Structures are given as C-alpha cells and as structure tokens.
Structure 1
Amino acid sequence: MDMGFSRRGLFGAGAAAAAILAGAGPAAAASGMTLRWWGNNGWEIRIGPKTVLIDPWLTRFKTGTYTPAGADPKTPLSVNRALIDGFLDRGELRADHILVTHGHYDHLTDVPYLAKRTGATVIGTETHLSLMAALGAPEDQLAVASGGEDLTFDGYSIRVLRSLHSAVGARAQVPFPGSRPLSRRDRPRVIEDLVEGGTLAYQVTGAGASVLNFGGSNYIEGELAGLRPDVVCLPAGGAKVTQYVPRLLRALGNPRYVAATHWDDFDLPLGQVKDAGGLEPLRTAVAAASPASAFVVLDHLGSFVP
C-alpha cells in the first residue's frame, strides 16, 4: 500500500491528516504522535508538548555527493543559523531530545547549534559527543550511549539500539570511518573530519505509537528481536546488504507504516525535494516484502499521524 503526502496537504498534520490515513494498513485508531520529515534522515517526533528530533540537518550545504566524483572530503562545514533561527523563532521547531545516529556531516553538523538554541538533551556515542563538544555543543546537555539503553522520560521513552552504517561501493565500505575519545577537542573543519564513530538506531514510543529510525541502510538483526514498531523509517539503499528490506521487515513483524528516509538529494536546499535514485527501488522492495504495509513518502516538512 502506497501513501504519498505533500507538505501542503499535511503540514501541521492533525485530524485531517489522520482522516487521510484512515484505513492504511491494519485498522487502528490514530495515535497522539505526529511525525514530520525535515529531509535526509531528519525527523521530528511530536508527542503532546514534547518533541524529539533525529539527525536534524537543515543547512544542507553542497558537497558534490551525487556527482560522478562523489563528495569532496575537503568541503568546509557550515551552519545556516539564519535558516535555523527562523524556524525556532516562529515556533515551527523545538526539541527536548536530539538523537544522533552517526557522526557524518549530513546527520550531525547542525546539532550543536540546535542544542544550544533549544536546551535539548543530545544522545550519541562517545565519538559523536566528542565531535559535538568540539563544535560548541553545551557539554552538560550531552548524554553518551552505546546501544542497549532503554530510557523513560515525561510522556515518552527512547530505546537505543546498536546498528550499522550503510555499506557502499564495490568494497562495501563505510565513508569517513573512524572514532575519537571524549577528551579530544580539536574542532572539525571539513566534512571528512566528521567521522562515523559508530552507528545507533532509535525507537521512540509515546502517545499510543512507536517509531523506529535507522540512519543508514544496514542494521543488526539480533538487536530487533521483539520490536514491533508502528512505523519504521527505512533508508534507501542497502544494495550490499543481504535481503536488506525483506529481512528487516520480517524481523519487525511487517510494520503498519514504512516511511522512506534518506532518499533525497541533500545537495539541494531544504524545500527542493529530488529523488537521489533510491526511492523507487525502496518502494518496490517494500511492496514485495510487506504488501500490507503503507509506504509513506513525504515532502520536506510534510507530516503524518500514525
């Protein structure tokens, strides 16, 4: 089942969005959770007055990622503070928690500034926290995780899972690999300085729904035992991973919703949505592996209620 939504149709999703989704997948009442996509693997999860962000990257500077030469590792890091401030000052963006799946530039670059502006608690590995502290994130807001944590907060819970980064290229390699200790404080300057540093996945539960997010197109199947999320945010790709989509959806009990993530060309600014080439293969794979699951595709800032 294929569900496509536009920003205009679902921006600020509420009762109307729930009505549009009625009947998608197995019958169930709409939850009190709203999911909004900020492009790439950037997700906002609103649960009543609380907000959890995953890998928020609004700046989206050009790197050449989708050119034949690939990303230029010496691309300078930058943060579009004016853009971020606009969303924050208008009340369109807030955060109680920010969850980082891995350390690469398209997942971590904006997080230190967002942490300072929102006061959010940030969860990531030791490497992620080292990178963010060096980029100016308030250190008392940083919480280290290694996978296995199951944490309860006011109105929602966060389960941290060990995971894997996408395996890319003929040799199934991880781009910009590496790690660094918390004690290290030299400031990252270019995108290759933001090393992967281990990869985490997160399940956020609250208001009658749960969403499982992967920041890369790979996973550790044993970590998923017993998980039955309502929504899985599934990245495009995974060509080098054996039975990437069917094995994952089977392990999760064929979730009601499969939300496409990390499929857009992130060299383009926020608001310009272009398939980088992985969306249709992902759609086809989900339809074949779990035909009863609703396949959700959002525009930037599009949202839905599971």
Structure 2
Amino acid sequence: MRPESIAFRPDELLGSRDARIRVRWLGTAGFEITCDDHVLLIDPYLTRASLARTAFGRLTPDLDVLARHIGRADAIIVGHTHFDHALDVPVIAKKTGALVFGSRSAVKLCRAAGLPEERLRMVERAPSTEPIVAEVGPFRLRFVPSAHSRFALGRVPFPGEIDDCDAVPVRVDHFRCGAVFRVEIEAHGRTIVHVGSAELTEVAKAPREADLLLLCVAGWRSSRDLPERVARVLSPRAVLLSHWDDFFVPLDRPARALPAMAMEPLVERLARAARDARIGTLPLLGELGL
C-alpha cells in the first residue's frame, strides 16, 4: 500500500479551511497544532540528517530548514528523546521562546543547550500517581506515561537517560530514549492524542473518545495487538498515521515509506477494530482542520 493512496484531503477530516484547530504534519512523529493564535509543537524533527551522517557523523540541527518551516511556538512537547524526536527542540525553543514539556532527559538536553530553567517543564510523575496536566493558551495537555516499541531485535533502541553533560549530544547513541509519553490534547471540545512510538500503556484512564489519533507506524508489529488496543483504549474517530516516512530524505522531497512499514495490514486491522474511524496520511507539511 502506498501511503498517498490513503491520504486525507485538506478539507476532509472533521473540519474545513476555517476550522479553529489546524494540524500540520512535520514529518516523522512531528506535528504543529494551531488554535486561537497559539502554536503547539510535538516532537518537531525537521533536520532529517542523511543516513550516512546519522550513522557515522555528528548530528546538528539544520538552521536553514528550521528557519523556513518553523515560525513560532508557545510550547514544545517531547514524547521521548531519541534524536528523530528531540534533536531540533533546543534550537526551536531558543528561537521561539517556547516552553518545553518532557522527561528528565528532555530537560537535561535543553539545559545543556542553554535554555533557562523557567522555560523547562519536567512531566515525569511518581509511580501510581495521576498524569501531569498543564495548560497552554486554549490547550489542556495531559502527559500519560507510555512505552517505546521493542523493534530492535526485541529491545528498545538506545534505552536509558540522557546523562548530565556540558555539551548537547551529537551522536545518535547519545540521544537515549528517556521516559515516554502519550499526550492527550484538548481544545474547544476536541481531543487529539499523540502516540509517538508504536506502543500503548493502558493503566491510565483514557479520554472517552479521541477525535484525532496521531499514531506512529514504525515498529507497530513489535507491539502485541497494537491496532486492537488502540481502538479499544482510545476509540478514535479518525487516525492520522505518522512516523512511516523515510526521515533520512530532505523535507523538500516527497515523503516515501521506509521499508517494512507494513501499512496495508495495519490499516486493515485498524479499520476492523475501529469500524467508523477514517484512517489516512498527509504529505509532508500537509495539514488538516478540526
């Protein structure tokens, strides 16, 4: 299945061009959500370093790409701290003055980059306590502990924490996973849920219904019954698939699927489990209205 064969049209999902909430896909697991002149970024990774540089070189944000595609942000959410979720966060936060919400590792990363403490929000919680809730403009944010898919020979790639350091990490293996969150976002009666790794925990009470689920594809077959659990726990009205694209290809080229994404069986199982849900994709930097 080619991802473009199930692409949403810009006016197709839960809204129109004059919708109050706009959702733009930034590639990989990254999204920009705009509402009432407030901008929320989730896992914004636009640098898209080449495979060679990722494997053998030093990772640094592409400042030109970030300047072209990121104008402003009130808050940035870091679902976990692998490089393809967190590399660009400190630069974007410095440029925009945004608050950063994330794990202890996310806070360490931003602190090492020189962000002031008053702009950092650590949202890990003690075991058996309620998820942390925060408000940014019209957005109500709920940070639910989750997990990373074990797609690397049955293991989470680069587990553990980003250690305290004097310099920002520059190698892939230094961007340790840290704690993982799914994020539930409410605004104007709509609920958007971001699942940035293809795994789901069910211990915390979920929203009654997700108007839009932003679901990671990469590694989904390593997570037992993920399509069925997603449908049962989150009851999505619509599912926007993400993190299926080849993020080693620059942002100005059309998105293409990484090998072995198995999009067709995923869509078939989601469609069976969430019978009324619309399931689709967007082109890079494409957007939808709610």
Equivalent residue number for residue 58 of structure 1:
46
Cα contact 2:133–2:140 (8 A) shared by 1: yes
Q: Does 1:135 align with 2:123?
A: no
Q: Does 1:35 align with 2:23?
A: yes
TM-score in terms of structure 1 length: 0.83
1:271 shift after superposition: 3.2
SS of equivalent to 1:239: helix
Task: State the AA in 2 paired with 1:126.
Answer: R
Task: State the AA in 2 paired with 1:177.
Answer: P
Q: Does 1:271 align with 2:271?
A: no
Cα contact 2:185–2:193 (8 A) shared by 1: yes
User: Map of 1:1-306 to 2, 5 A cutoff?
Assistant: 4-5=7-8, 10=10, 17=11, 20-21=12-13, 32-63=20-51, 72=55, 74-88=56-70, 93-147=71-125, 148-170=131-153, 172-180=154-162, 184-236=165-217, 237-252=219-234, 254-272=235-253, 273-276=255-258, 277-278=260-261, 279-306=263-290
**Residues 39, 226 of structure 1: alpha-carbon distance in 2 compared, 3 angstrom cutoff:** closer
Task: State the AA in 2 paired with 1:304.
Answer: L
Cα contact 1:161–1:200 (8 A) shared by 2: yes
CA shift digits 1:85-112 (9 cap, x unpaired): 1234xxxx32111000111110000010
* Rounded Cα–Cα distance in structure 1 between residues aligned with 2:111 and 2:266: 36
SS of equivalent to 1:83: helix
Cα contact 1:31–1:207 (8 A) shared by 2: no
1:239 shift after superposition: 1.2
Aligned length: 275
CA shift digits 1:66-90 (9 cap, x unpaired): xxxxx62x431111101111234xx
CA shift digits 1:37-89 (9 cap, x unpaired): 01000101111101100000111001369xxxxx62x431111101111234x
Aligned-CA RMSD value = 2.2
**Residues 77, 3 of structure 1: alpha-carbon distance in 2 compared, 3 angstrom cutoff:** same
Structure 2: gaps of 5 or more residues: 126-130
CA shift digits 1:181-235 (9 cap, x unpaired): 6x54343121111110111111111123111001101121122444422111111
Identity over aligned pairs, percent: 29
Cα contact 2:78–2:101 (8 A) shared by 1: yes
Cα contact 1:205–1:211 (8 A) shared by 2: yes
Cα contact 2:162–2:175 (8 A) shared by 1: no
Cα contact 1:32–1:208 (8 A) shared by 2: no
* Rounded Cα–Cα distance in structure 2 between residues aligned with 1:52 and 1:218: 23
1:114 shift after superposition: 0.2
Cα contact 1:125–1:197 (8 A) shared by 2: yes
Cα contact 1:135–1:188 (8 A) shared by 2: no
1:131 shift after superposition: 1.6
SS of equivalent to 1:103: coil
